[in-house]
Amino acid sequence: MKLADNKATLSFSNGSPSIDLPVYQGNIGPDVIDIRKLYAQTGMFTYDPGFLSTASCQSAITYIDGDKGELLYRGYPIEQLATGADYLDTCYLLLNGDLPNATQQKDFHKLVTNHTMVNEQMQFFLRGFRRDSHPMAILTGLVGAMSAFYHDSTDINNPEHRNIAAIRLIAKMPTLVAMAYKYKIGQPYIYPKNDLSYAGNFLRMMFATPCEEYKVNPVLERALDRIFILHADHEQNASTSTVRLCASSGTNPFAAIAAGVACLWGPAHGGANEACLNMLEDIQAQGGVAKVGEFMEKVKDKNSGVKLMGFGHRVYKNYDPRAKLMQETCNEVLAELGLENDPLFKLAKELEKIALEDDYFVQRKLYPNVDFYSGIVQRAIGIPVNLFTGIFALARTVGWIAQLNEMISDPEYKIGRPRQLFTGSVKRDVKPVGQR
């Protein structure tokens, strides 16, 4: 961190002496006021529900400028990575800081590919779940269970262990997600195939059967790879903060990533594209395109309780840069599969048109976000709605690992311990039961 020349001065109206607080500068983005000694100096905490104005760490991985609609992985714009690199290149970048050269690319791709199989006992672990279990419930259990199978990579303070765990998690997550899907529909598991790409291999494990040879569609392969890239990391969001907080206790990497999976399950986070498709299906059931105008009017009415899912973003106050890329991919996939006239997709296009033209949505910058388009693409590919969040978890795993590694390597890191403003009862005495 770079110490700024200026300081922040905190003064009090009750006559308490003012204090100076150091200011640190980032390479880009807002400066931060260092309040680590605030409690020692004043006996007070800061109050910031949701951590809207609090930097919990220093990080060199991902940068977001919500006002400009900018997303950088290690300094590279997401638009360039999505068109000039593949997902495993992006994984290498997030883990190591730079894009791989030709030799590094070949070695890293081979390393991940050679670790895609999972222990055979994992399939017996699956049998303990009901067939109608939500895939995220299964995935949370499977990822956490990996620590029971891979004892040689559970010391989070050992860099070698973390590197081994990173490769295992990146390599095996597609296999676990596909197994959860196959278990749910009662089909046999499909083993990974080393001559396919990361995305191509996942498609085959999802949709192939032993009855016939499966041929990977290159358009769908590219679309899925792009979904993975666009979801690989997103700064200090809820699930990433969960992984960091969990790992700060010294737990093993698999347990920390399982915590991230559990957090991602929420509809306000990783479940957003699932919620978006559910919204589209509800509108379709009520009359489809003919009811879009009526639905949008309800959205504008604050008292209606109707929410527009897949539009707007907590961070981006401009167009989500990932959404533009996903919009292009969406059109390519629908054209490839001949689904331009599918009722649900026509409905989605009508929603998109209104949101981009209606002053109410334009003024509030409620643009379609990445969840809106990625949900449509995944449904077109054939991925069931309740597996969307599992795909998100698969893609985000590398970001979680990169953030975990960064935190553990930071000499300033400590176990997370948020403070509180206590509003409960003051100290009181326990009285005999007859006097209560």
Q: Is 13 helix (H, G, I), strand (E, B) or coil?
A: coil
- Classify strands 62-65 and 76-77 as parallel, antiparallel or unpaired: unpaired
> Which position among 225, 371, 410, 429 bears the catalytic label?
371
Alpha helices in 358-411 (DSSP H): 359-363, 370-381, 388-409
Instruction: Check 313, 320, 358, 410 and give the catalytic one.
Output: 313
Q: Burial of 253 by CB count in 10 Å (0-12 exposed, 13-18 middle, 19+ buried)? A: buried
At 135, the amino acid letter reads P
Sheet holding 32-33, edge to edge: 2-10, 19-25, 32-33
Distance of alpha carbon 56 from alpha carbon 244, whole angstroms? 10
Q: What are the structure tokens assigned to 214, written together?
A: 């499966």
Helix, strand or coil, per DSSP, at residue 153: helix
Q: Identity (one letter) of the amino acid at 206?
A: M
- Our answer to whether residue 313 is catalytic in this structure is yes
Does residue 119 contact residue 214 with C-beta atoms inside 8 Å? no
Three-state DSSP class for 317?
A: coil
Cα distance between residue 308 and residue 66, in whole Å = 20
Which of 128, 399, 41 shows the shortest CA–CA distance to 241?
399
**Catalytic residue list:** 313, 371
